[in-house]
Amino acid sequence: MTMILANILIGVTVSLGVIFILVTAIGLIRLPDIYCRTHAASKSATLGVMFILLGVFLHFWLIEGIVNTRIILGIVFLFITGPVGGHVIGRSAYLSGVKMWDQSVKDELAPVIAERKKLDEQK
């Protein structure tokens, strides 16, 4: 009985994670520009891999009886670094001049960057 419940729990977590990774793949193919793609890739892939690692941890804990702290450490590390990686690559894409989608309506970073360039020239 306990085994069946544990298997159901692991199955639900692992399939949630795989669904999130598939959503990441669909978003990475279908979204129009780099900023939308980082939006899809950083959040959804991070949540998906966290769910899958949670399922792996539950499998080794409930079925094999091993508490493996390295998986917990991996989950925490991915939770910290996944969004940071997405932010950093989006910022470098903007600063290296990748164009936004032609139907986007708002660009709030452009005046800030123009101001900073002006301050740099005054120095």
- List of residues contacting other proteins (CB under 8 A): 7, 11, 14-15, 17-18, 21-22, 24-26, 28-29, 34, 37-38, 41, 45-46, 48-49, 52-53, 55-56, 59-60, 64, 66, 68, 70-71, 73-74, 77-78, 81-82, 84-86, 88-93, 95-96, 98
Exposed/middle/buried for residue 51 (C-beta within 10 Å: 0-12, 13-18, 19+): buried
CA distance 62 to 20: 24
Q: Is the dihedral of CA 27, 29, 30, 36 positive or negative?
A: positive
Cβ proximity to other proteins: between 72 and 114 the closer is: 72
Amino acid (one-letter) located at 73: L
Cβ proximity to other proteins: between 25 and 110 the closer is: 25
Are 21 and 49 in contact by the 8 Å Cβ rule? The answer is yes
Cβ proximity to other proteins: between 84 and 114 the closer is: 84
CB of 47 to other proteins, least distance (A): 10
